[in-house]
Structure 1
Amino acid sequence: MRNIIFELCSETIDACIAAREGGAARIELCSALSEGGLTPSHGLIRDAVLLSGLPIHGLVRPRGGDFLYSDAEVAIMREDIVHMKSLGVSGVVLGLLKEDGSVDRERTQELVRLARPLEVTFHRAFDSTPSLEQALEDVIATGCDRLLTSGGQPDVVTGAASLAKLVAQAAGRIEIAIGGGLRLQDAAALARLTGAQHFHGSMRSKHSEPTLYSPSEVASDHASRSKTHYAVAPDAVRTIIERLRNA
């Protein structure tokens, strides 16, 4: 059985608890997954650290959109890293690019040094770079411990061949975490094809619940009497880990 490390991407405290109950190894904590993930709030970070019982890696991303940040935005990232450290997180997750799309090695190195002794993951900003091979070498040079990637593709299934090449190129110099559209039905095949040990997913499913208000009281695009939210079941976390390990 393969040694698999599964990280759950969580934006709620309920998802953090599901990660613990389902057997996840750690949590990437964020807010606004609809935006691709943003820096989580003080309260969410604090409660995740206190209640989940798992290592919490906080996302450091001050806004949605691209990964070319101004000096003012990088200053905010510095403050968020210091704040997360004070709350007891085990790691931070970040990614900075230059105007040409390449990895911003200098400013990433600066943030890695600031984050120590915490672990640092370079996130899927990597997948927007023009050369994945060169970007991997750049991320390794920054001192990051881990790289989260879908192989430069919209999801890990279409990026499977590229992911296998990145795992081989890394050759143990950095952990390659496979994430981005990871689904239960694809897990075993991806584990076999890529040879990776680290995987990342949100495992969310939609849930609808009745509301107490009348549709006439809200905007026309809320014409339903139900609201939809996403939730994570511990069984889903447990199942994907089993499939990855048994691949």
Structure 2
Amino acid sequence: MTPAPAMPVALEIAVTSPAGAIVARDAGADRVEICVGLELGGLTPSQALVEATHETGIPAHALVRCRPGGFEYDADELALMEHEVRTVLRSGAAGVVVGALRPDRSLDEDILRRFVDAARSVAAHAEVTLHRAVDHAADPVATAARLADLGITRVLTSGGAASAPVGAATIARMVDAAGPVQVMAGAGVTPADVPRLLETGVAAVHLSAKRSVTGGHAGVSMGSGDDGSGHTVTDAAVVAAARAALDR
């Protein structure tokens, strides 16, 4: 019997605007993750931002994370994020990106089930991605093995390391453990890293492909994380280089 051809590896770009989604789309991305506060690890985008990104035509998966910091959530935060899951899907998101841990750094499966149920109550085929909370888990490989039973579509991971290239060996083990759940490598990824990550067997590669834009402000700070230097945008050349590396 002739073996089935390997599925192409998808390219996902993290963006913070509809303009970024258009750049990613036109440079060859397969989908985007839409969020705000990328410098904080990403936070839930507004309803209008999700709607506008949906209108660009590229599949957009919305991050649902109500605050920066750790991944243990109280009842009020959980209720808010369940509401956000439903809202972003009703606003046109193709899927949601979620995660939660217990104090012992194990996956909070009860919360994950609630997120999955909330997503599928809006769209039966909504995709659910476990975000990089998995990299803060005590055992990312064992966590990956549990995801299929929870109804998770894919997991974004650096293999528990500071960057996906550094964690490549663990990512390969996660691919073996995850079964039908797609494993997507992300964190600190550049186009030059793509060949090494492909060797792990991942289903997708994720990067922010961003560049800094001048035009900040001087003087009074707008907050503790504001140095007045400007902001970042999606770089078409980086997206295109990542696409080319995947297609070689």
TM over 0.5: yes
Deviation at 1:2, TM superposition (A): 6.9
Cα separation, 2, equivalents of 1:135 and 1:145:
14
2:141 is matched with 133
SS in 1 for 2:102: coil
Q: 2:77 aligns with which of 73, 77, 85?
A: 73
The residue type equivalent to 1:87 in the other structure is S
Asked if residue 89 in structure 1 is aligned to residue 93 in structure 2, the reply is yes
Cα separation, 2, equivalents of 1:167 and 1:245:
20
Q: 1:144 aligns with which of 144, 152, 174?
A: 152
Asked if residue 37 in structure 1 is aligned to residue 35 in structure 2, the reply is no
After the TM superposition, which residues 183-198 of structure 1 pair with which residues of structure 2 at under 5 Å, given as runs? Answer: 183-192=190-199, 194-198=200-204
1:179-206 CA distances to partner (integer Å, 9 max, x unpaired)?
11111221222212x1223111110011
Asked if residue 4 in structure 1 is aligned to residue 9 in structure 2, the reply is yes
Cα separation, 1, equivalents of 2:76 and 2:240:
41
1:182 is matched with 189
Q: 2:51 aligns with which of 39, 46, 54?
A: 46
Deviation at 1:136, TM superposition (A): 1.2
Q: 1:14 aligns with which of 19, 32, 47?
A: 19
Deviation at 1:122, TM superposition (A): 0.5
Deviation at 1:19, TM superposition (A): 1.1
SS in 2 for 1:63: coil
SS in 1 for 2:230: strand
Deviation at 1:7, TM superposition (A): 0.7
CA contact (8 A) 2:145 2:174 kept: no
CA contact (8 A) 1:103 1:139 kept: no
What is the Cα-based RMSD across aligned positions, in Å? Answer: 1.9
SS in 2 for 1:68: coil
Question: What is the count of residue pairs matched by the alignment?
Answer: 234
Deviation at 1:141, TM superposition (A): 2.0
For structure 1, the residue ranges without an aligned partner over 5 or more in a row are none
Cα separation, 2, equivalents of 1:160 and 1:6:
17
Cα separation, 1, equivalents of 2:105 and 2:245:
35
The residue type equivalent to 2:16 in the other structure is E
**Structure with max Cα Rg:** 1
For structure 2, the residue ranges without an aligned partner over 5 or more in a row are 1-5
CA contact (8 A) 2:141 2:170 kept: no
CA contact (8 A) 1:4 1:241 kept: no
Segment of structure 1 superposing worse, 63-72 or 6-15: 6-15
Cα separation, 2, equivalents of 1:147 and 1:175:
6
CA contact (8 A) 1:48 1:56 kept: yes
Deviation at 1:63, TM superposition (A): 0.4
Cα separation, 1, equivalents of 2:89 and 2:213:
34
Cα separation, 2, equivalents of 1:141 and 1:97:
17
Q: 1:63 aligns with which of 57, 61, 67?
A: 67
Deviation at 1:39, TM superposition (A): 0.2
